[in-house]
Structure 1
Amino acid sequence: MIIGIFLMVTFFTASLVLIYLSIKSKKEMERKKNECTEIAKGTVETIRKIGDSENNDNYYPTFAFFDGNCIVQEESKIGYSKGVWKKGDLVQIRFNANKTSDFWVESDSIPAWVWLISIGIGFAAIGALGILLCYFTTKY
């Protein structure tokens, strides 16, 4: 019973954190779409690996693009899984003309906030199932 309550609280807390992060991520993406109006073709120059094992590694690509005045090289603030980007990949970049470090890469992938909210809802469902199990095991 105590373990069930602990798991239920843990899953609900995790779901709230994930839903909060998804809302924050979505707002940041909307901000970037509004402020990053310039378009440039770019390439992946380098990829930096951060992590302690094959399963926990994140890969941070450095993108190079021409902003109209000079070539800009900026490392992504988003870590990707292995194989998403390769050196030399061509990308389309949208950037803020006033601050070239504020950019995003157009891609066909699903935005991070969609994954976060999906996992958060899943955790909330597991937490709700935990509530039902606790209720029925104590009642009957």
Structure 2
Amino acid sequence: MNTFKLQIVAPDRIIYDGEATFLLVRALSGDIGIQANHQKLVTPLTIGKMKVEFANAQPRFAAITGGFMKVGNNTVTVLTTACEWQDEIDLERAQKAAERARKDREAAKSQQEMDQAEIRLKRALNRISVAKK
């Protein structure tokens, strides 16, 4: 199976740097699947699940909170504000974060507070969804 170089980078660490056979990420325009020798592309990413498939290993899933993806020369670089592999997610902590975000959304006194709570809720629900996959 053909592979491509995949780098996933967050501000605090390099999440992954190696070969992959397939990548699925959530862009602003919808889900995008990447395989070896994909056409050049730069796109913003949003809160969503990421799936990485490898030649000789089980696929891995992660929760990402947005960023950018660059594709070219059989290399894919994902720059994300935050990324957690499925096995790194603390489900109880994510559930508590979702509950806090719901309460903050209900108590919001301005549109800005409501929008911020909604984003926190989406991030928490994404983490919960990936953890339960």
Shorter-chain TM range is: under 0.3
TM-score (norm 1): 0.26
TM-score (norm 2): 0.27
Q: Which has the higher contact order (CA 8 A, sep 6+)?
A: 1
Structure with the bigger percentage of helix: 1
Structure with the bigger percentage of strand: 2
